[in-house]
A = this chain, B = another copy of it.
Amino acid sequence: MSAVSSLRAAGTPPFFAVGANDLGSSARRGLLTTAHGVVETPNFMPVATVGTVKGITPAQLHDVGAQILLANAYHLALRPGVDVVEELGGLHRFMGWPGPILTDSGGYQVFSLAALRKVTEEGVEFRSHIDGAKLALRPEDVVMLQVRLGVDIMMPLDECLPAPVGRPDAERAAARTLRWACRSLAVERGDGQTLFGIVQGGVFADLRRQHAAELVALGFPGYAVGGLSVGEAIEMTREVAAATAAALPTTAPRYLMGVGRPEDLLRFVGMGFDLFDCVLPTRNGRNGMLFTWSGPVNIRLARYARDPEPVDAACDCYGCRTFSRAYLRHLAVSGEMLGPQLNSLHNLHFYLDLMRQMRAQIAAGTFLQWANDRIARLEQGGNA
Contact = CB atoms under 8 A, between A and B. Distances in A.
Interface of A: 50-59, 79-80, 84, 87-89, 94-96, 305-306, 308, 318, 322-324, 326-327, 329-331, 333-334, 336-338, 340-342
Nearest to A336: B52
Contacts of A53: 338
Contacts of A54: 336-338
B96 A333 contact: no
Contacts of A306: 84, 87-88
25 contacts: A50-B330, A50-B336, A51-B327, A51-B330, A54-B336, A54-B337, A54-B338, A55-B338, A55-B341, A57-B322, A57-B338, A58-B322, A59-B318, A79-B333, A79-B334, A80-B305, A80-B326, A80-B329, A84-B326, A87-B308, A88-B308, A95-B327, A96-B322, A337-B340, A341-B341
B57 A326 contact: no
A327 B88 CA distance: 9
Contacts of A84: 305-306, 326, 330
A110 to B, nearest CB: 19
Contacts of A341: 55, 57, 337, 341
A318 B305 CA distance: 34
Copies in the complex: 2
A56 B330 CA distance: 15
B336 A57 contact: no
Given A330-B50, A331-B52, A338-B52, A324 B88 contact: yes
Nearest to A338: B52
A199 to B, nearest CB: 31
A180 to B, nearest CB: 28
A79 B318 contact: no
Contacts of A57: 318, 322, 338, 341-342
A258 B80 CA distance: 37
Nearest to A324: B88
Contacts of A331: 52
A96 B59 contact: no
Given A52-B336, A52-B338, A96-B323, 14 more contacts: A50-B336, A57-B342, A79-B334, A80-B329, A84-B306, A84-B330, A87-B306, A87-B308, A88-B306, A88-B308, A88-B326, A95-B327, A96-B327, A341-B341
A305 B88 CA distance: 10
The 4 closest A-B pairs by CB, nearest first: A55-B337, A96-B322, A80-B330, A52-B338
B337 A337 contact: yes
Nearest to A80: B330
Given A326-B80, A326-B94, A341-B341, A308 B89 contact: yes
Nearest to A323: B96
A305 B94 CA distance: 12
